[in-house]
Homo-oligomer: A and B are copies of this chain.
Amino acid sequence: MAKKGYRVIAEFSIHPIGEGTSVSKYVTKALKELKKARSLRLQVTPMATVIESEKLSNILSAVERAHESLFRMGARRVDFVLRVDDRRDKERRMEDKVKAVT
C-alpha cells in the first residue's frame, strides 16, 4: 500500500453494448454507484470519470459495483476501460496534474 499522503489517480469509462446508441442512463447509474464510495474524489469529463483515492483497492471496489449495477438495469454486455496512474515519489492531487501542464 502507498504511504499516507499519496493518492492514486484513475480514469473510468463504462458503457453497455447493444442497449441503444444513447447510454447516458447507464453512465448516470454507474456514476451514482461511484459516488456512494465516500472516500473517492470524482471529476466527470466528456469521455470518462476521473477518480482519486488513497487506495487503489477503494477504486477497484467502486468500479466493480458500478459495473455490476449496469447488469441490474438489464444490460446484457458491459465494457469498461480503467486507466490508473499511481505515483509514490511525490504527493499530488488530481488538480495538480492539470496545473502542471497548462
Chain A contacts to B: CB under 8 angstroms: 1-2, 9-11, 13, 15, 17-24, 27-28, 31, 43-48, 50, 52, 56-57, 60, 63-64, 67-68, 71, 76-90, 94-95, 97-98, 100-102
Contact = CB atoms under 8 A, between A and B. Distances in A.
A102 to B, nearest CB: 5
A77 B21 contact: yes
Nearest to A55: B64
A79 B84 contact: yes
A63 B13 CA distance: 18
B85 A76 contact: no
Contacts of A57: 64
A92 to B, nearest CB: 9
Given A17-B15, A24-B101, A101-B28, A67 B50 contact: no
B50 A95 contact: no
**Could you say which of A9, A24, A79, A97 has the most chain B C-beta atoms within 10 Å of its C-beta?**
A79
